[in-house]
């Protein structure tokens, strides 16, 4: 069984994001870029399934320009067998990204697709669900535990009320939550080996995927500066202040 894992290039979660002075976007000059953390968890889970003998091949795919090859090589260093880059300099919205992945799926015919539940740059949490709908296959989102046996996967999901366990037939789409696993560290020998692993580049235009950008972002702005706190002399003064602010 093949497992296809989607990864996205994002600003590292440890970096303080800066907005460009004109509000046209996020300033990435000099910023450290990494694999989206949820996608890294998805890749780790795919690698563990392969190591358990459940999968025979793990393929990582990313959509973007040549800069995303750095993250694909990191995925190969983690242990993926090969990588696919869909080359485009257009920022694709979730529906177009799902259509693009579907075009690759139709060629690769994986038995399982694992994605991060969302990307930390746009927080859309839509691509996995849209991909499952377009592919007409089951989905299991927000996975905190995955057990694959034969042609089914038993997935424990994190929901508002607690945990929910469902069973889906394969092929299926699974999206990962933070508590599913802890991704492995990449070692120097693995980085060297990754340079010799295959990385296929496919032009976005070759896939004949429609790119309908239904959402237009007009402006970016940093979060509002928090107001300075105040000190009060007594509990009565605190209650009075809270009432004046409409909090009580």
Which domains are delineated in the chain? 2-244 (3.40.50.620)
Tens-place pLDDT, residues 96-121: 999 999 999 999 999 999 999 999 88
In the structure, what pLDDT confidence band is assigned to residue 133 with cuts at 50, 70 and 90? very high
pTM, full prediction: 0.86
Percent of the chain with pLDDT over 70: 100
Whether residue 212 is predicted with pLDDT greater than 80 in this model: the reply is: no
Mean pLDDT of 52-59: 95
- pLDDT at position 19 is 86
3-state secondary structure of 212: coil
Q: What is the band of 82 on the pLDDT scale with cuts at 50, 70, 90?
A: very high
pLDDT band at 216; cut points 50, 70, 90: confident
pLDDT at 230: 83
Element containing residue 49 per DSSP (H, E)? helix 37-51
Question: Does the pLDDT value for residue 213 go beyond 80?
Answer: no
Peptide bond into 171 cis (omega under 30): yes
**Cα gap 217→214, rounded to integer Å:** 10
pLDDT of residue 193: 92
CA 183/CA 232 separation, integer angstroms = 46
Please tell me the distance from the alpha carbon of residue 37 to that of residue 17, in angstroms, as a whole number.
Answer: 16
For all residues of the chain together, what is the average pLDDT?
92
Tell whether the model's pLDDT for residue 214 goes beyond 80.
Answer: no
């Amino acid at each position: 069984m093949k497992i296809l894992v989607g990864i996205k290039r994002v600003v590292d979660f440890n970096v303080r994001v800066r907005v460009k002075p004109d509000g046209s976007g996020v300033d990435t000059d000099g910023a450290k870029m990494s694999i989206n953390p949820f996608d890294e968890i998805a890749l780790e889970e795919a690698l563990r399934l392969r190591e358990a003998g459940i999968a025979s091949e793990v393929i990582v795919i990313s959509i973007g320009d040549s800069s995303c090859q750095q993250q694909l090589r990191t995925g190969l260093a983690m242990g993926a067998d090969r990588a696919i880059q869909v080359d485009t300099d257009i920022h694709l919205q979730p529906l177009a990204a799902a259509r693009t992945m579907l075009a690759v799926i139709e060629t690769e015919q994986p038995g399982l697709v694992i994605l991060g539940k969302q990307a930390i740059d746009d927080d859309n949490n839509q691509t996995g669900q849209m991909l499952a709908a377009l592919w007409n296959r089951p989905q299991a989102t927000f996975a905190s535990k995955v057990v694959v046996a034969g042609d089914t996967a038993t997935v424990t999901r994190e929901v508002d009320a607690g945990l929910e366990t469902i069973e889906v037939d394969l092929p299926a789409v699974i999206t990962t939550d933070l508590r599913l696993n802890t991704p492995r560290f990449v070692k120097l020998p693995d980085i060297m080996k990754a340079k010799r692993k295959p990385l296929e580049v496919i032009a976005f235009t070759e896939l004949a995927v429609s790119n309908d950008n239904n959402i237009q972002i007009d402006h970016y702005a940093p979060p509002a500066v928090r107001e300075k706190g105040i000190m009060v002399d007594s509990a009565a003064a605190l209650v009075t202040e809270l009432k004046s602010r409409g909090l009580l």
